[in-house]
């Protein structure tokens, strides 16, 4: 009797401990970001057990190195990439899933049926480029079914014609298929080709330097005035006047001022040296000359001087 009492008291104590212990909260994970694969091992190279769509809730058993060991609702155990799981003590709220349209039943396509029409006429081979046309053993383009190549103007008998552009024909004792667009009801004889005369080669021209009297050869350049002041217009005079050339104006700070044949001095040019480069172009190509003025003055009493460049 005493032994039974001790056993009963022990069982009661254990039961009290169990009731007093807090229940272990389960950890859940909710799939997000689309379909998520369940793998046999925590590796991207591991076999895929199954895939679960966005919103699926799984029980997270453990986590390690970015992978979660989970139990799915269909009682599969495997590993999921933890980055694509909302993990918490409660399942994440289910996102709204747009209902998918009911799949349409697969309709077997109706095979194309080729129809033939009896013709029984005399026709002639034709082509837009004047080359021969192939006769084939079947109404399809296939390099292995070529029976022969027939020139433009060859007479054939078109027996029947298909609805997709083929004709069944007879040439002498040979039967085959030829595209209908290469057959015509009127005789076509290719026009004779004219003789092709190869033009004689044009002798290469030899460059002869122009004499000094050539109207394009630049012989002298003048820049006026040489001592400019604010408001003056500095110009370039080239002899002969028929010469072709370009002009670039800049100052001693290498700042570009303009590209016209003349330049009007501004107040910002005071104290600066105006430089110019003249370069022949077109028929005057090959000529280059550089020049410069004195420092730009602000006074109106500076005597006028000229700068002249003469070719040697």
Q: Which class is domain 28-88? A: mainly beta
DSSP for 185-222, written as a single string: SS---PPPPPP-PPPPPPPPP---PPPTT-TTS--EEE
CA-CA distance, 309 to 312, in Å (whole number)? Answer: 9
The domain made up of 116-184 has a fold known as SH3 type barrels. (2.30.30)
> Would 116-184 and 220-310 be classified into the same CATH topology?
no
pLDDT tens-digit profile of 57-105?
999 999 999 999 999 988 899 999 999 999 887 665 555 555 556 566 7
CATH 2.60.40.2700 corresponds to the domain 220-310: yes
Determine if the pTM surpasses 0.85: no
Domain boundaries of the chain, sorted by first residue: 28-88, 116-184, 220-310
DSSP for 257-294, written as a single string: EE-SSEEE--GGGBTPEEEEEEEE-GGGTT-EEEEEEE
CA nearest to 263, candidates 244, 278, 282, 284: 278
- Provide the residue-wise pLDDT of the chain in tens; the chain has 312 residues: 455 554 455 545 544 444 444 444 578 999 988 889 999 999 999 999 999 999 899 999 999 999 999 999 888 999 999 999 998 876 655 555 555 565 667 677 666 678 999 999 999 998 877 788 999 998 888 777 888 889 888 899 999 999 889 999 999 888 999 999 999 887 554 444 454 444 555 554 444 454 445 677 777 778 888 888 888 898 888 888 888 888 888 888 888 888 888 999 888 888 888 888 888 887 777 777 788 888 888 865 545 444 444 444
The CA distances from residue 85 to 47, 67, 176, 228, 269, in Å, are: 20, 10, 68, 82, 73
pLDDT tens-digit profile of 168-210?
999 988 899 999 999 988 755 444 445 444 455 555 444 445 4
């Amino acid at each position: 009797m005493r032994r039974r009492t001790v056993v009963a008291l022990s069982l009661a104590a254990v039961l009290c401990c169990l009731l007093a212990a807090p229940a272990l909260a389960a950890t859940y994970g909710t799939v997000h970001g689309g379909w998520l694969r369940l793998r046999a091992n925590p590796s991207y190279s591991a076999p895929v057990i199954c895939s679960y769509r966005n919103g699926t809730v799984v029980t997270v058993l453990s986590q390690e190195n970015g992978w979660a060991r989970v139990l799915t609702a269909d009682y599969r155990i495997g590993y999921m990439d933890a980055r694509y799981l909302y993990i918490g003590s409660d399942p994440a709220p289910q996102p709204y899933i747009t209902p998918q349209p009911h799949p349409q039943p697969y309709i077997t396509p109706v095979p194309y049926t080729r129809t033939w029409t009896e013709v029984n006429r005399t026709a002639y081979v034709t082509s837009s480029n004047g080359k021969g046309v192939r006769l084939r053993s079947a109404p399809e383009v296939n390099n292995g079914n070529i029976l022969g190549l027939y020139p433009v103007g060859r007479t054939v008998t078109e027996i029947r014609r298909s609805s997709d552009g083929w004709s069944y024909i007879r040439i002498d004792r040979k039967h085959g298929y030829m595209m209908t667009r290469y057959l015509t009801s009127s005789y076509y004889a290719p026009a004779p080709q004219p003789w092709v005369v190869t033009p004689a080669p044009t002798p290469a021209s030899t460059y002869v330097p122009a004499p000094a009297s050539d109207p394009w050869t630049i012989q002298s350049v003048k820049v006026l005035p040489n001592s400019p002041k604010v408001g003056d217009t500095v110009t370039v005079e080239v002899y002969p006047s028929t010469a072709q050339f370009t002009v670039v104006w800049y100052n001693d700070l290498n700042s570009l001022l303009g590209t016209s044949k003349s330049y009007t001095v501004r107040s910002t040019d005071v104290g600066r040296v105006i430089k110019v480069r003249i370069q022949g172009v077109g028929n005057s190509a090959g000529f280059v000359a550089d020049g410069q003025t004195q420092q730009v003055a602000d006074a109106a009493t500076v005597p006028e001087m000229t700068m002249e460049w003469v070719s040697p």
